[in-house]
Amino acid sequence: MILMIISFFIYCNSLRKMIHCHPMERVHRFVSNDFTVRAAAVNATIAVREMQKIQNTQPLPTLAVGRAMVGALLMASHLKEKQQVGIYVRGDGPMGRVYAEASFEGHVRGYTPHTYFEPEQYQPGLKLKEYIGQGTLSVTRHMPFQKQPHHGMVELISSEIGEDISHYLIQSHQIRSVISLGVYLDTYGKVQSAGGVLVEVMPGVEEEVVQILEKNAQALKTSISKEILNGVAATEFVKPFLQGIPFTELDHNFPISYSCPCTEERVVQALESLGEEELDDMIKNKEVAEVRCQVCGRPYEIGVERLQEIKNKLYRQSLN
């Protein structure tokens, strides 16, 4: 038993070193000591990797959805409890639709209908602009007890997602910001690291503070995704962005996770709406019902035996 525990401990540590991400990773929030600047940093490798595993996305869709997921996590951390933010990129390119949603509590999901998109030829750098094209970025903020969510929309200025989020913040909320989103893929197109930093300057702040932040951002030589690969913690890779500005970390103890409210029960409820006749045809043809959540991409398979149970339930209900 002791040997098993030691072996498990060694395995967990090896896995942690391999992905440079603690299983309980969270979004770290910071504020300048004069409360004029706020920042958030996250290592979202596990969540983005889970998205790729579920949806089996190709490199470009992985990059796009991963960046959107990281951006949503960072923005959501600046909200309040039980609030969430959705990011919807809609362009005229062949991979023009990308969606991500995150809550203040660290739940995140992302999706594109073009999960299997691949360019004719991969160019160095994997730029998204050519494939997302021109279009709009919509941001929706869901707040409890409000019938209608807050909705804002801006034109895409780069289609690389990070710069477009920064453009949204200044246009819709008069908040100047510095943002860096990174997703690093290996030669096989698999996620090795993902994370980002978002620094926001409150309206009315002196121009000197803005200049310091811009100078810091321009001086950065290593991307966030490379920092994560090098084992740098999220609490550390925010420091170069805030150099020269005294700051303090805030409490935000919510582990991030790839999460969606879709369940097999909801899938069954959707199949019940097909009716007995349609279900009977599927059963006779021995068809497995394959359903995929259109928001998170999680696939569900309902076998013939379960379809028969659903049909029998509908029949019993019809007798009442």
Q: Which amino acid is residue 309, in one-letter code?
A: E
Helices 276-284, 304-319: axis angle to 10 degrees equals 150
**3 pLDDT above the threshold of 60:** no
Of 26, 99, 23, nearest to 260 by C-alpha is 99
Average pLDDT, the chain: 86
What confidence tens digit (pLDDT) does each residue in 233-282 have? 888 989 999 999 999 999 999 999 998 888 888 888 878 887 788 888 88
SS3 of residue 255 by DSSP: strand
Q: Which two tokens stand for residue 275?
A: 């009716």
Q: Is this model's pTM higher than 0.85 or not?
A: no
Q: Cα–Cα distance between 30 and 251 in angstroms, integer?
A: 9
Q: Cα–Cα distance between 194 and 30 in angstroms, integer?
A: 20
What confidence tens digit (pLDDT) does each residue in 115-139 have? 999 888 877 777 899 999 999 999 9
Q: With 0-12 CB in 10 A as exposed, 13-18 as middle and 19+ as buried, what is 45? A: buried
For residue 320, the model assigns a pLDDT of 66
Q: What share of the chain is helix, strand, coil (3-state, %, to 5)?
A: 40, 25, 35
**Residue percentage of the chain with pLDDT more than 90:** 52
Which of 12-16, 102-106, 284-288 has maximum average pLDDT?
A: 102-106
Q: How many other C-beta atoms are found inside a 10 Å radius of the C-beta of residue 143?
A: 13
Q: Cα–Cα distance between 183 and 195 in angstroms, integer?
A: 7
> What angle is formed at CA 196 by the lines to CA 69 and CA 137, rounded to 5 degrees?
45
Q: Cα–Cα distance between 185 and 175 in angstroms, integer?
A: 31
Alpha-carbon distance values, 279 to 209, 276, 318 (Å)? 64, 5, 15
